[in-house]
Amino acid sequence: MEISITFLGTGTSGGVPFISCHCEVCTSTDSRDKRLRTSALIRTPTQTICIDAGPDFRQQMLREKVQHLDAVLVTHGHRDHIGGLDDIRPFNFSQAEAIPLYCDHYAEEMIREQFSYAFKNTEYEFAPKVHFHRIDNTPFQVGDITVQPIEVMHYKLPVKAFRIGDFTYITDGKTVAPDQMELLKGTKILVINALRHHQHNAHFTIEEALEMVRLIQPERAYFTHLSHQFGLHAEMQKQLPENVRIAYDGLTISFKI
Report the percentage of the chain scoring pLDDT > 70.
100
Pick from 151, 201, 214, 145: nearest CA to 2: 145
Distinct helix (H) and strand (E) counts, the chain: 8, 14
What is the Cα–Cα distance from 2 to 165, expressed in whole angstroms? Answer: 11
Amino acid at 114: Q
How far apart, in Å, are the Cα atoms of 183 and each of 52, 75, 84?
Answer: 21, 17, 30
- The lowest-confidence range among 70-79, 124-133, 161-170, 171-180 is 124-133
- Strands 220-224, 244-246: pairing is parallel
Amino acid at 157: L
Q: What is the pLDDT of residue 125?
A: 83
Here the CATH number for the domain that contains residue 22 is 3.60.15.10
Q: What is the pLDDT of residue 74?
A: 98
Kindly tell me if the per-residue pLDDT of 120 is higher than 90: no
Q: Residue 233 sits in which domain range? A: 2-256
Report the domain count for the chain.
1
- Strands 157-164, 140-142: pairing is unpaired
124 band by pLDDT with thresholds 50, 70 and 90: confident
CA-atom Rg of the chain in angstroms: 17
